[in-house]
Structure 1
Amino acid sequence: MPDTRAAPDYQRCLPVELHSQADAFIRHLHELPSKSPVECPVCGHPRFRLEASQDLRLPFYRCAACNKGFNCLSRTPFSGYGLMYLWSTYGQYLLAGWPMSAIAKSMGISPSTAWRWVKPCRALMAKEFPELYHWWSARQDRTNLEPPAHIAAQAQAFLSGLELLLTTQQAVCSKCGSPHMQRIDERRPDFRCPSCWTTVSLLHGTLLSRLGHPEHWLGFAQGLINGESVVDQQRRTGLCAPSCRRWQIRFTRMLEQQGHKELIQWITWLRSRRVKEVSDFVRGGGLLKTVAGSRYSAESKRRFAAPPKHSRKRKNVS
């Protein structure tokens, strides 16, 4: 049975100026199976008659000019598709950027059905709502990763806060209250009080505590916002896959703590499309550069490797 939970808020990832078009698109999908035709889809003649039938899912009409039979979906992108009562709900998930597997699970339909409905929805959106389609398809196909203004503001606030944390030169001593602490680490916001010699780290108690390689945090956060995969982040930072997964979890939890719900939904959308983009590239014969383990672990192994042992010649005892 389909999931009875409310459909997602599809306006979260859309610009404000496209909200009305998105509402109209969802309403169009809902009303499409019950719309009465105004002309014959074959010859365009305005006169036709309704034929009584108890076995058809939609009213069936017969053209008075060409005598061709049709229903309200004939010659439309959704001609021949079933489960009509779910089309508008599917459109909401599609505009919200949900992955197809998640849509299928939430709506109680098969993954193949979820994938099959993409084509008629795109065709209908392109024909009836071209402005909405132009913006949405560019993000769906990852040809344009620029977020809408309200999500861009959340992303900028997150990145600016992270940069400020890493570059700040001021801290207050937690023991004596002195505001003249001296920074003792160029990469991490660690300070020492010249009065009582107390050491303070601004990362203590945060999700970034004990997270290494702070020189990569800003770049990693930007890649996260762009929906990059774990392998993409490995190429960006040189870290191993488990570290990149751990960083993704930490940074996503930071976004949750700061209340950036729209940004999190945006990241989920772009990341799911990145997976599809890589899959299509590989199926088309493309080759991706293999990513090994962390380059830092290899460097540390070389740095701390024991020097080679030189063989000593044994002296002959006469």
Structure 2
Amino acid sequence: MSDTHAPPNYHRCLPVELHSQADAFIHYLHELPNKSPVECPACGHPRFRVETSQDLRLPFYRCAACNKGFNSLSKTPFSRYGLMHLWSTYGQYLLAGWPMPNIANAMGISPSTTWRWIKPCRAVMAKEFPALSHWWSARQDRTNLEPPAHIAAQAQAFLSGLEQLLTTQRAVCSKCGSPHMQRVDERRPDFRCHSCWSTVSLLHGTLLSRLGHPEHWLGFAQGLINGESVVDLQRRTGLCGPACKLWQVRFMQMLEQQGHTDLAQWITWLRSRRVKEVSDFVRDGGQLESVAGSLYSAGSKRRFAVPPSTPGSGK
């Protein structure tokens, strides 16, 4: 088993003020197996000797006071875990918000291993790097969805640009160049030129050109930024599942086109946590109201009584 991909840039989803702690956390995981003990983990005695007769994965020590054996991992959260050379790489994927199946695939390890490793990583983070643990765990557990400042700025730029596109009252005729065009659709930025009578749509040639119901685009984009699932987005908009999946793909492509790559990674992180949140809720006996059909289908009735997800709601 080996790391088959370059580890991600975990700084992208973290506040700038936590970058140094994140680096220290990754360094800690890298150095932990090779760290020399300073005392016996059983009795705290500072004197011990190295046992050279045993062929083990780590140097083995024997306490001079209690005669108990130990190594550098004894009494640490990682004492019973293998593949030590991959721990720091795993930590980078974890801080970057990668879903566990994706981490397993990228690192060439089993999905069950990625699920087991998260427990000791969180224990080390909580003990040695509490500020990083507090911030990261809140997003990992979806108790706080507030993004770091640089991602919040990207989200605001994306939402503002979308709102401006939908509400603009000005356009230049692509045929005669006249700036005097009249908007002819309240919901979509469609214009008619008074000089040559040609029509112009500002959505032409964009990823939004064939999407309907523009009155829901801003709300959908906000739900996407919050990491809501497709079912959550159905409840938010009243659209059918295939439509929400299509919108999800188109809006993510728009983010990439506009250079909001950190925001796209943030959305992927929160969405994967939302899926697990719902899975845990159902596994623990919770019941979710089914969502089917579309509010806009002929003869359909609205069945979207459950509101969109809220941090820590478990729904």
- TM-score interval for Structure 1 and Structure 2 normalised by the shorter chain: over 0.9
Counterpart residue number, 2:28: 28
Matched, 1:248 2:252: no
- Structure 1 range deviating more: 209-218 or 196-205: 196-205
8 Å contact kept, 2:13–2:262:
yes
Counterpart residue number, 1:116: 116
Shift of residue 295 of structure 1? 1.3
Q: Aligned partners of 1:72, 1:66: CA distance in 2, in Å?
A: 17
Counterpart residue number, 1:293: 293
Counterpart residue number, 2:79: 79
Q: Aligned partners of 2:67, 2:164: CA distance in 1, in Å?
A: 73
Q: Aligned partners of 2:66, 2:205: CA distance in 1, in Å?
A: 77
Shift of residue 112 of structure 1? 0.5
**TM-score by structure 1 length?**
0.93
Counterpart residue number, 2:147: 147
What residue identity is the alignment partner of 2:76?
T
Other structure's SS at 2:12 match = coil
Other structure's SS at 1:11 match = helix
Other structure's SS at 2:61 match = strand
Counterpart residue number, 1:67: 67
Other structure's SS at 1:295 match = coil
8 Å contact kept, 1:189–1:202:
yes
Correspondence 1:44-55 to 2 at 5 A: 44-55=44-55
8 Å contact kept, 1:2–1:106:
no
Q: Aligned partners of 1:2, 1:266: CA distance in 2, in Å?
A: 26
Shift of residue 6 of structure 1? 1.1
8 Å contact kept, 1:53–1:60:
no
Shift of residue 137 of structure 1? 0.3
Larger-gyration structure (1/2): 1
Other structure's SS at 2:296 match = helix
Q: Deviations over 1:257-305 (max 9, x none)?
A: 101111111111111101110000001111111001111104479xxxx
Matched, 1:234 2:227: no
Q: Deviations over 1:87-130 (max 9, x none)?
A: 00000000011010010111111110010000000000000000
Correspondence 1:129-144 to 2 at 5 A: 129-144=129-144
8 Å contact kept, 2:182–2:193:
yes
Structure 2 portions without partners, runs of 5+: 302-315
Q: Deviations over 1:15-73 (max 9, x none)?
A: 11111110000000000000010011111111111111332111111111222111111
Q: Aligned partners of 1:245, 1:167: CA distance in 2, in Å?
A: 25
Q: Aligned partners of 1:176, 1:53: CA distance in 2, in Å?
A: 89
Counterpart residue number, 2:162: 162
Q: Aligned partners of 1:253, 1:196: CA distance in 2, in Å?
A: 34
Shift of residue 5 of structure 1? 2.4
Counterpart residue number, 1:94: 94
Q: Aligned partners of 1:169, 1:203: CA distance in 2, in Å?
A: 14
Counterpart residue number, 2:18: 18
Among all aligned residue pairs of Structure 1 and Structure 2, give the percentage whose two residues are the same amino acid.
85
Other structure's SS at 2:191 match = strand
Counterpart residue number, 2:307: none
What residue identity is the alignment partner of 2:53?
S
Other structure's SS at 2:121 match = helix
Q: Aligned partners of 2:112, 2:300: CA distance in 1, in Å?
A: 47
Q: Aligned partners of 2:299, 2:198: CA distance in 1, in Å?
A: 33
Counterpart residue number, 2:312: none
Structure 1 portions without partners, runs of 5+: 302-318
Q: Aligned partners of 1:284, 1:7: CA distance in 2, in Å?
A: 34
